Structure 1
Amino acid sequence: MTSTVPPLSLPEPLELLKLGERTIFLRQSRPHTVSHPPLLLLHGWGGSSGYWRPTLAALGHDRHVIAPDLPGFGDSPPLVGPANAEALAEVVVAFADAMGLEQFDLNGHSFCASVAIYVAMRQPQRVRRLALSCISTFRSERERVIVEKIHHVMALWMALRRPWMARSRMFYRTVGRRFFYHLPKDDAILREAFSDFLKMDRRTALETAASSGDANLNPTMTRLLTPTVIIAGRQDKIMPVVGTPEVARLIPDSRLFWIEQCGHLPMIEHPERYHQILRDFLDA
């Protein structure tokens, strides 16, 4: 079955930002008037700033919305050192400094929801509100091992990737069924998402996947002081939904919203519902 997911809006051009020796590519909105704090968007594992284009369009008319390609993803070169959630959080803080963001709202998706958690923990005076999209965690050591294994399988996909995969409609639609409850009618969405996957730096993919069972993450959640919203797709096949309520339980000032008949990319599959929840939370 296919969905009525609208085609992605015309892309904001990729821009380049130099962070010392490091290069970060980004997309951003340029509103004529700004009435809300800036919003920083962090894509997930295997993604890029590209799939935030619906969010840039939906929320960028009256606020500065910024979506970087994190190191090793999209068009940004990889880190020289270790690539894990805490290392990427350091990059996000440096990126916010370079963009002149004194205080901002932060939205992290999938793997990079954990990056957003570390940023909020380190910079509580700067992160005004925190959104975590399609996040899960483990309730026991057994579940932590299962999460690790799931991400190891994803890393195996990475190791086996081949250029022909992006040209095979059967292949990228088969993979797409893991990410969407209903496949989009527009194949361009699936091709672009799979193109991001093929761009991902191999070492970054393996190291970030290996850090998915981070034992420090749950204790960090319990110490968060930032008001937090958790938005999840009820039929997410990438992040185990049984662990999502545990995130809401661990974070003191948090609220969980489910989107029904939705997979791992709610900003694309159910943009109106997703952006309404996000806007209501940020503007409350």
Structure 2
Amino acid sequence: MAATVSFSVTSPHGPRTVTLAYTRVGSGEPLLLLHGIGHHRQAWDPVVDLLATERDVIAVDLPGFGESPALPEGLTHDLATMNAALAALCETLELDRPHVAGNSLGGLLALELGREKLVRSVTALSPAGFWSPAERRYAFGLLQAMRQAARSMPLPLVERLSRSAAGRAVLTSSIYARPARRSPEAVVAETLALAGARGFTETLRAGTSVRFTDDVPGLPVTVAWGTRDRILVRRQGVRAKRIIPRARLVRLPGCGHVPMNDDPALVARVLLDGSRRTPSPAAQRAWA
């Protein structure tokens, strides 16, 4: 069951109350997990138990996704607002500069938090923002098509498709390289999450002008990319390394855009190593 937390965020029209849903498990240094656009915090379920052996893990539904309401009137789903909301979340939950890991949109938000020195370390899995204009148009077109498909399918059809490996591939092969590994229940839940994401359109619109162009000095940064990412192609990882030259660039063999499901053990190791001062040799995979 998710908990909820509410806090105030400044808007041009005065303070507004933001409410976010989250789950928290484990012990150790805090690790905040941020999902991608159209997804929900359960995207991290395959790795949460592994992470919780060493970290106090907080998985959050971003505003307008999962069980979190959309932002109230007066706040927009742009990077500045999301940064302010996540900073307020950390303050309210008494997370003193947590480690942060994010996927896709969540990876971009994690890097933004790192740039603002609000976290101890950043691990970004296929982060948004390192695209060329053509790559962004391709990714946004694919995301919009996925959203339209999810909204157009009646629930009985989604449930029927989810019962077979082939059906789960139909529903989720855009984000997973190994969709058969996802449980039928999880596939149904994330299809419904995509269809019902109240913040999807505004978040996508805000991303049309986004590019991450700043270094993130002074803290450990890991950027990891699946070799079978179909949404944000892996050459964007090379751009990320040029922009953040001290970042550790990690290859995730056989993984798609949401790699937590494709190889939970590898992703958990990358996240844990990314929050340590000296990554283990096992995490130092060549980029090839």
Give SS of 1:88's match. helix
Give unmatched runs, 5+ long, in structure 1.
1-12
User: Which letter maps to 1:247?
Assistant: A
- The answer for the alignment partner of 2:192 in structure 1 is 195
User: Which letter maps to 2:193?
Assistant: D
- The answer for the alignment partner of 2:281 in structure 1 is none
Quote the Cα distance in structure 2 between the aligned partners of 1:268 and 1:193: 13
- The answer for the alignment partner of 1:266 in structure 2 is 259
Quote the Cα distance in structure 2 between the aligned partners of 1:30 and 1:262: 26
Q: Which runs of 4+ in 1 moved over 4 A?
A: 136-139
User: Which letter maps to 1:17?
Assistant: V
- The answer for the alignment partner of 1:70 in structure 2 is 62
User: Which letter maps to 1:146?
Assistant: E
Q: How far has the Cα of 1:109 moved from its partner?
A: 0.7
Equivalent residues of 1:15, 1:25 under 8 A apart: yes
Quote the Cα distance in structure 2 between the aligned partners of 1:102 and 1:29: 17
Give SS of 2:257's match. coil
The one of 212, 228, 237 equivalent to 1:244 is 237
TM-score under structure 1 length normalisation: 0.83
Give SS of 1:231's match. strand
- The answer for the alignment partner of 2:140 in structure 1 is 151
Report how many residues are paired.
259
Q: Which deviations, in whole Å up to 9, do the C-alpha atoms of 1:107-143 show, x marking residues without a partner?
A: 1110121111222222x1x41111001125446xxx2
- The answer for the alignment partner of 1:164 in structure 2 is 154
Give yes or no for the alignment of 1:207 onto 2:210. Answer: no
The one of 94, 102, 115 equivalent to 1:100 is 94
User: Which letter maps to 1:144?
Assistant: P
Quote the Cα distance in structure 2 between the aligned partners of 1:15 and 1:172: 29
Equivalent residues of 1:42, 1:67 under 8 A apart: yes
- The answer for the alignment partner of 2:106 in structure 1 is 112
Give SS of 1:245's match. helix
Q: How far has the Cα of 1:192 moved from its partner?
A: 2.4
User: Which letter maps to 2:174?
Assistant: R
How many percent identity over aligned positions?
20
Q: How far has the Cα of 1:55 moved from its partner?
A: 2.6
Q: 1:15 to 1:138 in 2, by over 3 A?
A: closer
Give SS of 2:20's match. strand
Greater RCO (Cα-Cα under 8 Å, separation 6 or more)? 1
